[in-house]
Amino acid sequence: MLQILRAKLHGIHVTGCVLDYHGSITLDPEQCALAGIYPLEFVNIWNKNSGQRISTYVIYGEAGSRCCILNGAAARTCQQGDELIISAVEYVNGPKDIYARKPVVLTFDAGNAVLERLRYVVGGEESGEFTFNVVEEPM
């Protein structure tokens, strides 16, 4: 089994940190739907400001809120305004399965509005050599 990227929120900003909570990250369900990230799904979080890396599960906040709130122990790893990369992964049987996958990547502005919806596309199946392209999709 090979773990690969399935969806990514790139450059989303922390809108809050709530220490006294059961734990998780609260995200806008509209943005999650656009990327294909589900409630209770575990995600990897990388803080571009501090270098902290954590894993936690997603809960949905208010639709349209553009929220990105770290809860519980995760709240200790970030500060409001920090820029994050959040990734969801999947497992495939082997390298040949990568060709069929086209992970969704959303990029964000400072107010957490989605700037772009991208796909990572791996090609080269015919030659057996991997190629990589970033393709912009209409939103």
What amino acid positions are annotated as catalytic residues? Answer: 24, 57
* Contact between residue 131 and residue 122 where contact means Cβ atoms under 8 Å apart: yes
* Contact between residue 46 and residue 3 where contact means Cβ atoms under 8 Å apart: no
Task: Convert 107-139 to b/e letters by CB count within 10 Å (16 or more is b).
Answer: ebeeebebeebbebebeeeeeeeeeeeeeeeee
Distance of CA 19 to the CA centre of its chain: 22
Whether 75 has a binding-site annotation, put simply, is: no
Distance of CA 29 to the CA centre of its chain: 13
Whether 56 has a binding-site annotation, put simply, is: yes
Provide the H-helix boundaries in 1-139.
Answer: 29-35
Ramachandran angles phi, psi of 132, nearest 5°:
-140, 130
Q: Which residues belong to the annotated binding site?
A: 56, 72-74
Q: Which residues belong to the annotated binding site for substrate?
A: 56, 72-74
